[in-house]
Amino acid sequence: MPTRALACAIDVLVQGMALGLILSLVFGFLIGTDSSESLAAALIILTVLLVVVGYRLVMETLTRGRTLGKYILGLKVVRDDGSSIRFRHALVRTLMWFFVDFAPWFAASPGIVASLMNKEGKRIGDMVAGTVVIRERHQPMASPPLFVPSQLVQWAQSLELSQLPDDLANTARDYLARFVELDVAARAALGETLAFRFSELTAPAPPQPMIAPAFLSAVLAERRRRELIRLATARPAATGPFAAPTNPYAVPAGPFAPPSPYGAVPAAPAPTPFLPPPPPAAPARPATHNTQGWATPGSDSGWS
């Protein structure tokens, strides 16, 4: 509650500054013309609605769930299944925020009471829109470790992934990244839901039963492998220390190299150099013995 209240205060401050600037321009226009009081009141009300409602609607739609205050404090609005919100969710939340949750004629109390009574801190606008506000600053930004079991590599390579949308893949990746932080019941339910949606958009089915996180990890690992290959082949050839590898399946080495989706790949043995056979040895010559008793070379060397 304190974090959301501070984010709301930042947004109200920004809206107040924008409203003061726009109203000063409106008043300047009205003073310079002979306008009726009804027209002036209509322009003022329209300006207030555009700033108060339009600010939240436009910000949350364009940033997928963030206003300036939420961005500063690390908050984000997501749908109940963890995916990003759309225009309709932002519209419902904004209208409910202005006319119900914090409406001056309700003493700005419905939203506060609903947030205190709801275990997820939802206000009425979140309940109607099917959204929830989460804290994401402490979440790891790195991609979760994705892998394909060795016995399922052939199945993964045969997957049809063209129907899998980016939004659903990003939702599954976020789910795997926050897997250990989710409640056990919510983790199981969300995993089964995502696995079912993945199974409807991919083919063929795995040859053996898999738990939902393993199935999602395998599909995302294969999707990432194909994306790396596509990027490597689409990148223009370059030379120098930062040139891309010529092999599209090769992954750059170093401390920042992404892990292989199929685990560690054994290094190929070094080729054995070809050596010609040694020439046949010359037949040994019979040795002669002198009167002192040691062997001496044959007659060809001039010794006897």
48-60, pLDDT tens digit by residue? 888 888 999 999 9
* pLDDT value of position 280: 59
Higher pLDDT, residue 287 or 177: 177
The H helix count followed by the E strand count for the chain is 10, 4
Instruction: Give the residue-averaged pLDDT of 93-99.
Output: 89
Instruction: Phi first, then psi: give them for residue 203, nearest 5 degrees.
Output: -155, 150
* pLDDT value of position 62: 92
Q: What is the pLDDT of residues 135-153, one digit of tens each?
A: 875 544 455 678 888 888 9
Query: What is the DSSP track for 29-75?
Result: HHHTTT--HHHHHHHHHHHHHHHHHHHHHHHHHHTTS--HHHHHHTE
Contact between 99 and 109 under an 8 Å Cβ cutoff? The reply is: no
Q: For residues 111 and 101, what is the distance between their CA atoms, to the nearest angstrom?
A: 4
Task: Check whether the bond before 204 is cis (ω within 30° of 0).
Answer: yes
Residue type, 203: A
Non-local CB neighbours of 142 within 8 Å, separated by 6+ positions: 177
Q: For residues 61 and 195, what is the distance between their CA atoms, to the nearest angstrom?
A: 27
The tokens for 252 are 């750059």
* pLDDT value of position 223: 92
Higher pLDDT, residue 75 or 282: 75
Share of the chain above pLDDT 90, in %: 33
Give kind and range of the element (H or E) at residue 134.
Answer: strand 131-135
The tokens for 74 are 């690390």
Grade residue 262 by pLDDT with cuts at 50, 70 and 90.
Answer: very low
Q: What is the mean pLDDT of the chain?
A: 78
Non-local CB neighbours of 259 within 8 Å, separated by 6+ positions: 145, 146, 147
